[in-house]
Amino acid sequence: MRFIFSFVLLFGLLINANAQDNEAVQSFEQSLNGLRNNIFNGNRKNSSKTISPYYYRLIDPEVYSASAIKGMMTLEDLEGDKRDQINHFIDKSLVGLYLKKPSAVAYSDLNINQEQSVPVVKEDEPIVLPVEKVDDILNNELEVKQAKDIDDNIVDIGLKVEKPNFWKFTGKASLQFTQNYFSDNWYKGGNNNQNLLASLILQANYDDQKRLSWENKLEMRLGFMTTPSDTCHKFLTSNDKLNLYSKLGLKAKKAWFYTATAEANTQFMPGYRSNNRLKFSNFLAPFDVYFSIGMDFKPSLKNGNTFSLALLPFSYKMRWLNDKDDNIHRVYNMVDEDITHDFGSKLEMNCKFQIAKDFFWKSRLYCYSAYDYVEAEWENSFTYAFSKYINAEVFTLWRFDDNRDRKYYDEHLGYFQFKEYFTLGLTYAF
């Protein structure tokens, strides 16, 4: 009876193993043949090697093994332990026997010790195995690349796994327009004027959610206002900014990142003052470039809120004046100079918070010190979205710069400067 069931077991192993594992199954079959011959032919004493109790349940396949059912009903990672690989094939073969010939299984491993008529392995007579094929199997790695390598019955449903895209591209465009008109006899007086402000912000950010992040931002703002009382200019720029910013971060620990930043600043149009023909700035005059390295504290916040504080003790600044106008050189304290190089330290803070529904606060602070002068800006933007396309914004900007001629010092503000505007207009985010 045992002889028949042993061959049924081997047949089940051969049926359930796939082509990739034929070599391992054949080796296993030879080992089982040697085990069967030693057990049934009484050659135990002539063998020199004792078999591990791990394989005892293969001796009597007509015994119902609860562990075999449990092994087949449990989802296991078959790419793990190689013993689990062999154990899976054993369970599969035994369960196949139980299903095909349930009448042949007379005993259960739960009561096998109470059945005196059932032959079991005696502890004083160890089973030995002259063939060492089992050890060869245990010492060889079984490579499983796909689920179908283990079970041919698995159906390919065409599931496609794509690599996640860690890039995020966003943009925001806005256009605001205001206009004032006063009749000639308006009792308080006033100047007719029109104001137009256009802005475009593009961002491309990479974040693998583990170690690497890379932020890129291009910001462009350009605004004009008419000045009827200005005898020198029909209009002046009210807002003029062209900024490109990039920050690369490598996670150090928790919310801290090793970081390197690069930034370039300039403007689009020449800058004038009311009733003054002198030029105070121009495109690429000045053109400021910063390179900095340090640490960035960037915690994870909820509800889309963001906060970043970068401490950059090693910072380089280059300023280039691509204009030969003498007044521009005097304004930026670069008489007879077109380019300057400074080394110092820099601090950057950027944050965005949702104060209430559809009401947001964005803030940016940077401070650069070359140890003989300080240049700092703190801008705040409060935005309320009436709808998806209409919003209102209050913008304020404080600036400090003591790298200037003393004549630009103000009795009340010192080297501080201030700017503010309010807009209501169209906005499109994408």
Say how far apart CA 247 and CA 300 lie, in whole Å: 17
Average of per-residue pLDDT across 191-215: 90
Whole-number pLDDT of residue 93: 72
What lies within 8 Å, CB to CB, of 323 at 6+ separation is 279, 282, 284, 285
Whole-number pLDDT of residue 72: 58
pLDDT tens digits, one per residue of 315-364 = 999 999 999 999 999 989 899 999 999 999 999 999 999 999 999 999 99
**124: three-class secondary structure by DSSP:** coil
Residue 261 vs residue 227, higher pLDDT? 261
Mean of pLDDT over the chain: 78
Average of per-residue pLDDT across 83-94: 70
Are the C-beta atoms of residues 393 and 427 closer than 8 Å to each other?
no
Whole-number pLDDT of residue 49: 46
Whole-number pLDDT of residue 164: 83
Phi and psi at residue 37, to the nearest 5°: -60, -40
Among the ranges given (133-142, 213-222, 251-260), the one the predictor scored with the smallest mean pLDDT: 133-142
SS3 content of the chain, % helix, strand, coil (to 5): 20, 45, 35
DSSP 333-399: T-TT-SEEEEEEEEEEEEEEEEEETTEEEEEEEEEEE-SS-EEEEEEEEEEEESSSSEEEEEEEEEE
- Write the single-letter amino acid at 280: F
Whole-number pLDDT of residue 240: 94
Q: What percent of the chain has pLDDT over 70?
A: 63
Whole-number pLDDT of residue 48: 45
Say how far apart CA 56 and CA 117 lie, in whole Å: 18
Are the C-beta atoms of residues 317 and 344 closer than 8 Å to each other?
yes
Residue 118 has pLDDT above 90, yes or no: no
How would residue 373 be classed by pLDDT, with cut points 50, 70 and 90?
Answer: very high
DSSP 255-308: TEEEEEEEEEEE-SS-EEETTEEEEEEBTTBSEEEEEEEEEEE----STT-EEE
pLDDT tens digits, one per residue of 145-171 = 555 555 555 555 566 667 788 999 999
How would residue 386 be classed by pLDDT, with cut points 50, 70 and 90?
Answer: very high
Structure tokens at 46: 């002539």
Average of per-residue pLDDT across 93-110: 67
Is residue 387 exposed (0-12), middle (13-18) or buried (19+ Cβ within 10 Å)? exposed
Say how far apart CA 243 and CA 265 lie, in whole Å: 5
